[in-house]
Amino acid sequence: MLSKVLDAYGHQTRLPDELIVADDGSSDGTDDTVAQKAKLANFPIRYVWQEDKGFRLARIRNLAVKNCTADYLLFTDGDCIPHPCLIEDHLRIKQEGFFVQGKRMNVGPKASRSFEFTGRASLFLMCLRGDVHGIHHLLRIPGFAVRKTGLRGIKTANFAIYRSDFIAVNGFNEDFIGWGREDSELVVRLYKYGLRRKDVSHSAIVFHLWHESADKSALVHNDLLLKAAIESPDYRCAHGIINLDWAHG
């Protein structure tokens, strides 16, 4: 999956300024795959890794941000193939004072192994066969977005934000270990900081490849962390991209 994703970023209508692969403790040759792709890419690809101590998406994404230089961040996942116009679309829609939630089309298990985007016509046929879901996204309207509130539909598998705003709320909360809710908790704090939400519609799409569901046993604990963030007046978490407990002695 990652190989397909990296190839797709090399075929963007607007190439990334840099791409950081954030690896949460894999030992399956991911580093070799990234190294091979980096040699062929015409933009910088860097790799950050942390030891496997459970599902620590929050921490590894913070580490990725520490290792990038861009002033605007686009988060996607290693199982999400970007539409060729993904970066172009996000740059068109970005606006100070907002974070942007992109959309995804889910690719079914039969089609995921061989999936690649070859145009809207072939994608339309895959939608009709039931291999890809989200046919309404085939209506392409670049630059169209709606303002929303709340947490419904928040997924940092396609999420963009100014780096300065991400740093201001101290990034992802590293108290989240195990799958789920770290993206919603981040957005709770972004709202408290004063940002507003834009949802892109009919552009800025990624294609989410099917895989087995993650272990969701940590949801009870993570739901409590989310509840605490909602009830707290603070927009910065203590253990984020900067450890505030350590910083304050």
Domain-embedded: residue 190: yes
Q: Report the domain count for the chain.
A: 1
Domain-embedded: residue 45: no
Domain-embedded: residue 86: yes
Domain-embedded: residue 17: no
Domain-embedded: residue 28: no
Domain-embedded: residue 34: no
pTM here is 0.94
d(CA 182, CA 194): 19
Residue 248 pLDDT class (50, 70, 90 cuts): very low
Ramachandran bin of 225, using left for φ above 0, alpha for ψ from -120 to 50, beta for the remaining angles: alpha
212-229 pLDDT, tens digit each:
988 999 999 999 999 999
Residue 245 pLDDT class (50, 70, 90 cuts): low
Query: What is the predicted pLDDT for the residue at 202?
Result: 93
Residue 236 pLDDT class (50, 70, 90 cuts): very high
Domain-embedded: residue 56: no
d(CA 177, CA 25): 13
Domain-embedded: residue 50: no
Per the structure, the complete domain to which residue 106 belongs is given by 71-247
The separation between the first and the last C-alpha atoms of the chain, rounded to the nearest angstrom, is 43
> Is pLDDT of 246 > 70?
no
> Is pLDDT of 232 > 90?
yes
